[in-house]
């Protein structure tokens, strides 16, 4: 009963928050936007780079979204709209060939980089050459390997030829967080093979509403109004300062005192205090982010996916771990009941597949473990192996469980899962890691269990996302299949999906993949969690967009004095 009461009051809070937001925006709509002022936007971590293709922590994306622009972007309803392009390519305007393999983008002719150089088709081609170069170290460029060539018949026409149909061609060079990351300036960067060493990684030149003014390492990043921005009269703000504030309590006090104007994706534990503060409005967040537990199917730290993990290579063990986790208790105890329990990858958007309800059944988990050869014979509460498949006789069931530091909800979730697994005889050693360190350890395979949240936008065709995490060709160092999961069925299905134009047929294939992942358990899906953000009530013009990073519309933001 307490759970339902809590959920009831949560939705009341969200409803009141949205009502206040709508009221404030309706009032603000009668007031002309004001130019000037500096916005204070503290961030927890410093951006590792301002090249959006070299890192994806989210902290650089907040800033690069305002500096770099794509050919198109996605609005709050999930529809693409042109930015650097004159129009979206379609069959009707001859932008899409009959077979879907040739896409023609026509560019606006009055766009300039912030240093005064004209933006042209050559910049689009350069971006592809850079992010697809094998030595560039670009970590996220979905679909670029499917491009056979890019031709520039003139300065404002880009003709892209694909080797096969690519369903997310509109997002390829667009400004979205899971597809394209914008266009890079050819004249201001360098050789594609040297991308990781470019000077523009620290001193970016863009076409967006803001440009970098100062970066004081460890203290703050400051961007200022781009006087050459192509939308007349925008941006309204003179500057945005991103001070590095790792302590959440300090950030909360800054918001409540009016010393900060934005708090990006704060922890749910602060929502009641912020809601009770008159000068703060809350964007409740979207359901894009799925908290997931990755299981390493290869020997920890070996760097060889052909060496099976002595414990987790056995599917029965992975299912036993899944059965041992009480996700409802985690939702209630850590997240106040606001999460949504899902049991599969394809949980939202136009490609949603039927949900699988995961059960909490530690007794069934114990039976599976014993059947797999894991028995506690010495009575110390930890199971040892007595079989002949993955490990030597007497090997203790002992796992390393890594999560990022600095997030209390992750810490508490880790503690709960550690205790739940110990209850069935699995010893877990919890480790806290800095975000950058955690990424490196994931790619190295130096973990047994690893937890973070991520996902794909609801509008987005998830084929590229599935390929990154589950295709055997993307096992590190080639990609981000960090579980080292190999399944020929999934490899073949992903290949088939890439060659199917009809979205209904692709949908069927994605649901087949979804079912295989449910059966094989390379990942345990925990909760879908909305991450709220807070705004000062004196900040106007912002609009919630579940399909983009928070600063997607920063050109429209303005402050009351």
What sign does the CA torsion over 64, 69, 72, 75 have?
positive
Beta strands across the sheet bearing 262-263: 262-263, 533-536, 280-283
The burial class, CB within 10 Å (0-12 / 13-18 / 19+), for 527 is: buried
Is the bond into 103 cis (omega within 30 degrees of 0)? no
What is the C-alpha separation between 272 and 89, in angstroms, rounded? 46
What is the C-alpha separation between 438 and 430, in angstroms, rounded? 13
What is the C-alpha separation between 19 and 88, in angstroms, rounded? 34
What is the C-alpha separation between 325 and 521, in angstroms, rounded? 13
- Decide if 517 contacts 345 (C-beta within 8 A): yes
For residue 554, how many C-alpha atoms fall within 13 Å in the half-sphere facing its CB? 34
Question: Which H, E and C letters describe 209-271, residue by residue?
Answer: CEEEEEEECCCEEEEEECCCCCCCCCCCCCEEEEEECCCHHHHHHHHHHCCCCEECCCCHHHH
What is the C-alpha separation between 97 and 164, in angstroms, rounded? 12
Tokens matching residue 442: 């994931």
pLDDT of the residue at 27: 40
pLDDT of the residue at 501: 83
pLDDT of the residue at 530: 80
User: Any idea which architecture 69-207 has in CATH?
Assistant: Alpha-Beta Complex (3.90)
- Decide if 69 contacts 183 (C-beta within 8 A): yes
Ordered alpha helix ranges (H), 33-136:
59-67, 121-131
| Tokens 């192509």, residue located | 230
- Decide if 432 contacts 377 (C-beta within 8 A): no
What is the C-alpha separation between 191 and 198, in angstroms, rounded? 8
Residue extents of the structural domains in the chain: 1-45+209-282+535-561, 69-207, 290-528
Q: Nearest Cα to 459, choosing from 179, 261, 187?
A: 179
What sign does the CA torsion over 126, 496, 352, 328 have?
negative
Torsion on CA atoms 276, 278, 281, 285, rounded to nearest 10: 0
Q: Nearest Cα to 43, choosing from 261, 236, 206?
A: 261
Q: Largest Cα–Cα distance of the chain, in whole Å?
A: 76
Tokens matching residue 381: 């509460």
pLDDT of the residue at 16: 41
290-528 adopts what CATH topology? Dipeptide-binding Protein; domain 3 (3.10.105)
Q: At what angle do helices 408-422 and 315-324 cross, to 10 degrees?
A: 110
What is the C-alpha separation between 253 and 257, in angstroms, rounded? 6
Partners of residue 540 on adjacent β-strands: 558
- Decide if 549 contacts 61 (C-beta within 8 A): yes
Residue 428 host element (H or E) = strand 427-433
Q: Nearest Cα to 192, choosing from 141, 140, 134?
A: 134
For residue 92, how many C-alpha atoms fall within 13 Å in the half-sphere facing its CB? 2
Q: List Cβ neighbours of 337 (8 Å cut-off, separation of 6 or more).
A: 3, 6, 7, 10, 331
pLDDT of the residue at 406: 77
- Decide if 277 contacts 255 (C-beta within 8 A): yes
What is the C-alpha separation between 535 and 255, in angstroms, rounded? 8
Q: List Cβ neighbours of 396 (8 Å cut-off, separation of 6 or more).
A: 382, 383, 384, 385, 427
pLDDT of the residue at 23: 43
Partners of residue 295 on adjacent β-strands: 449
Q: Which residues of the chain are modeled with pLDDT < 50?
A: 1-29, 179
1-45+209-282+535-561 adopts what CATH topology? D-Maltodextrin-Binding Protein; domain 2 (3.40.190)
Q: Nearest Cα to 555, choosing from 211, 259, 59?
A: 211
Tokens matching residue 218: 């460890």
What is the C-alpha separation between 350 and 348, in angstroms, rounded? 7
Q: What is the pTM of this model?
A: 0.77
Contacts of 248-253 spanning 24+ positions with Cβ under 8 A: 248/44, 248/408, 251/42, 251/44
Q: Nearest Cα to 416, choosing from 435, 436, 430?
A: 430
What is the C-alpha separation between 136 and 52, in angstroms, rounded? 13
What is the C-alpha separation between 105 and 150, in angstroms, rounded? 11
The burial class, CB within 10 Å (0-12 / 13-18 / 19+), for 218 is: exposed
């Amino acid at each position: 009963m307490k759970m339902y009461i809590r959920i009831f009051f949560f939705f009341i809070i969200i409803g009141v928050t949205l009502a206040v937001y709508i009221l404030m925006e309706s009032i603000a709509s009668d007031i002309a936007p004001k130019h000037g002022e500096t916005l204070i936007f503290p961030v927890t971590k410093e951006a590792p780079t301002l090249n959006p293709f070299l890192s994806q922590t989210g902290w650089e994306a907040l800033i690069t979204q305002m500096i770099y622009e794509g050919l198109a972007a996605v609005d709050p309803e999930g529809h693409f709209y042109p930015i650097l392009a004159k129009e979206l390519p379609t069959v009707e305007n001859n932008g899409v060939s009959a077979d879907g393999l040739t896409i023609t983008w026509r560019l606006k002719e009055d766009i300039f980089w912030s240093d005064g150089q004209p933006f042209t088709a050559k910049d689009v081609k350069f971006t592809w050459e850079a992010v697809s170069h094998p030595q560039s170290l670009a970590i996220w460029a979905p679909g670029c390997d499917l491009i056979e060539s890019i031709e520039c018949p003139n300065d404002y026409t880009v003709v892209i030829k694909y080797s096969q149909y690519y369903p997310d061609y509109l997002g390829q060079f667009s400004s979205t967080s899971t597809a394209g990351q914008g266009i890079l300036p050819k004249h201001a960067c360098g050789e594609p093979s040297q991308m990781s060493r470019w000077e523009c990684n620290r001193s970016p030149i863009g076409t967006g509403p803001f440009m970098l003014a100062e970066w004081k390492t460890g203290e703050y990043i400051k961007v200022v109004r781009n006087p050459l921005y192509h939308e007349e009269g925008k941006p309204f703000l003179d500057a945005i300062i991103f001070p590095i504030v790792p302590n959440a309590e300090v950030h909360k006090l800054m918001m409540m005192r009016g010393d900060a104007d934005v708090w990006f994706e704060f922890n749910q534990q602060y929502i009641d205090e912020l809601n009770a503060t008159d000068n703060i409005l809350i964007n409740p967040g979207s359901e894009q982010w799925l908290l997931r537990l990755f299981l390493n199917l290869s020997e920890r730290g070996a760097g060889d996916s052909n060496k099976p993990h002595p414990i987790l290579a056995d599917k029965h063990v992975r299912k036993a771990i899944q059965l041992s986790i009480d996700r409802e208790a985690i939702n209630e105890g850590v997240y106040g009941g606001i999460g949504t329990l899902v049991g599969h990858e394809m949980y939202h958007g136009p490609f949603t597949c039927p949900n699988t309800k995961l059960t909490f059944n530690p007794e069934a988990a114990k039976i599976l473990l014993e059947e797999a050869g894991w028995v506690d014979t010495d009575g110390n509460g930890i199971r040892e192996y007595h079989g002949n498949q993955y490990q030597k006789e007497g090997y203790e069931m002992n796992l390393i469980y890594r999560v990022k530091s600095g997030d209390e909800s992750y810490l508490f979730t880790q503690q709960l899962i550690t205790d739940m697994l110990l209850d069935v005889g699995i010893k877990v050693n919890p480790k806290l890691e800095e975000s950058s360190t955690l990424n490196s350890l994931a790619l190295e395979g130096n973990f047994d269990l690893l937890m973070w949240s991520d996902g794909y936008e609801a509008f987005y065709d998830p084929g590229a996302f599935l390929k990154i995490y589950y295709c055997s060709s993307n096992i590190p160092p080639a990609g981000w299949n960090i579980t080292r999961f190999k399944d020929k069925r999934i490899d073949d299905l992903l290949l088939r999906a890439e060659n199917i134009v009809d979205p209904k047929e692709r949908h069927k294939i994605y649901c087949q993949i979804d079912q295989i992942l449910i059966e094989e358990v390379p990942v345990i899906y925990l909760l879908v969690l909305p991450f709220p953000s807070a705004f000062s009530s004196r900040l106007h013009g912002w609009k919630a967009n579940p399909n983009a990073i928070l600063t997607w519309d920063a050109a429209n933001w303005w402050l009351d004095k």
